[in-house]
Structure formats: structure tokens, C-alpha cells
Structure 1
Amino acid sequence: MSNGRSREDSRGNGTLTKRNTVNHHGNLDQSISEDEMDRKIEQLNNDLDRARRKCEVYRTNLLSVLKDIEDHKQQLSLKVQVIRYNMKDCL
């Protein structure tokens, strides 16, 4: 430990695999190897793709529900018009 910093380097085949340092705010910074970063990026991309597919399914379902609501509204509107017409005829 020097100047409030602790470093631990592990090297495999000349590439940095992990280093922990304490920054000036007391937080732990972690540097990871490129392979680990690539795996993390691929995992995040897969998560993003999965979320996009879910959103598309939700969007499709929402549009279907909204269409059903619009159809129901039109049916109710027609029924109200028929009732109003029949009431006028009775008077």
C-alpha cells in the first residue's frame, strides 16, 4: 500500500487480468481482462436483445388490446345511437 492505494496485479500471458485500486474517493476500481469485458459485453447484448423481443411482444399485445377497446367503443356508440333513435320514436 502506498499513498492510500493498494494494487494487486495478476498477469497471465502478459495480459492484465485483474487489478484492484482504491481511488481518492475510497471506492474500489476493478480493471478486468479484455476476454472478461468481451464476455460481459456479449452478455449485455444478449440481455438487450431479450428485452427488445419482450418489448415487441408487449407492444403487439398492447396494440391488440387498444384495437379491441376501439371496437368495443364503436359498438357501444352504435347501441347508444339506436337507443336514442328509439326513444325519439316513442315520444
Structure 2
Amino acid sequence: MINGRTREDARSNGTLTKRNISNHHESLDQNLSEDEMDRKIQELSKEVECGKRKCEVYRSNLLSVLRDIEDHKQQLSLKVQIIRYSMKDCL
């Protein structure tokens, strides 16, 4: 033990190695029945669908903000042109 970590942890800097992750998934697959796996698949599918809906809402909001920014930019550009013309007339 070094600073509360084993030598193996210190070597991998506290991250899981590819082999450890693979072994973890294999042991999970062996312990889950088909019904549990189906339930897990349904649960994950619902999470994916929820994520997709959130993404669409965020996308819609982002496009709305971008349109507002573009409109504001055009208004500012028009105001700048008007000011430039008025300054040329004064000279």
C-alpha cells in the first residue's frame, strides 16, 4: 500500500484497465438472467429516448437563440449604416 492505494492502483493511476473492465462485464453477463437483461435493455432504451427528446428541445432552443442573434446583428448593421450615412452628410 502506498498512500492508501495498492501498487497496481498506483501503476494504473487509479483508472480501470481494459482487462478489468472486460472481466467486470463478463461477470455481470453471467449473473444476469435473460429477464433481467431484457429489463435492463428496456431501461437503457428509455434513457436513450429521453436523451433524444432532451437533445431535440436543446437543439430547438439553440436554433431560436441563433435566429435572435442573427436578427439583432442585422438590426445593428442597419443602424451602423444609417449612422455612417448621416455622418457623411454632415461632412
Task: Give your verdict on TM over 0.5.
Answer: yes
1:61 Cα deviation after fit? 0.0
CA–CA distance in structure 2, aligned partners of residues 67 and 44 of structure 1: 34
Q: Which has the higher contact order (CA 8 A, sep 6+)?
A: 1
Question: Partner of 2:77 in structure 1?
Answer: 77
- Give the secondary-structure state (helix, strand or coil) at the position aligned to 1:46: helix
1:1-91 alignment, distance < 5 Å: 27-28=23-24, 29-30=27-28, 31=30, 32-91=32-91
Structure 1 residues 10-31: Cα deviation after superposition (integer angstroms, max 9, x where no partner):
xxxxxxxxxxxxxx96x55132
Structure 1: 4+ residue segments shifted above 6 A: none
Structure 1 residues 21-60: Cα deviation after superposition (integer angstroms, max 9, x where no partner):
xxx96x5513210000000000000000000000000000
Name the amino acid aligned to 2:35: D
Is there any run of 5+ residues in structure 2 with no aligned partner, and where? 1-18
Aligned-residue Cα RMSD (Å) equals 1.6
By percentage of residues, which structure has more strand? Answer: 1
CA–CA distance in structure 1, aligned partners of residues 53 and 67 of structure 2: 21
Aligned-residue sequence identity (percent) comes to 69
Q: How many aligned positions are there?
A: 67
Name the amino acid aligned to 2:51: A
Is there any run of 5+ residues in structure 1 with no aligned partner, and where? 1-23
CA–CA distance in structure 2, aligned partners of residues 64 and 34 of structure 1: 45
Structure number, greater radius of gyration: 1
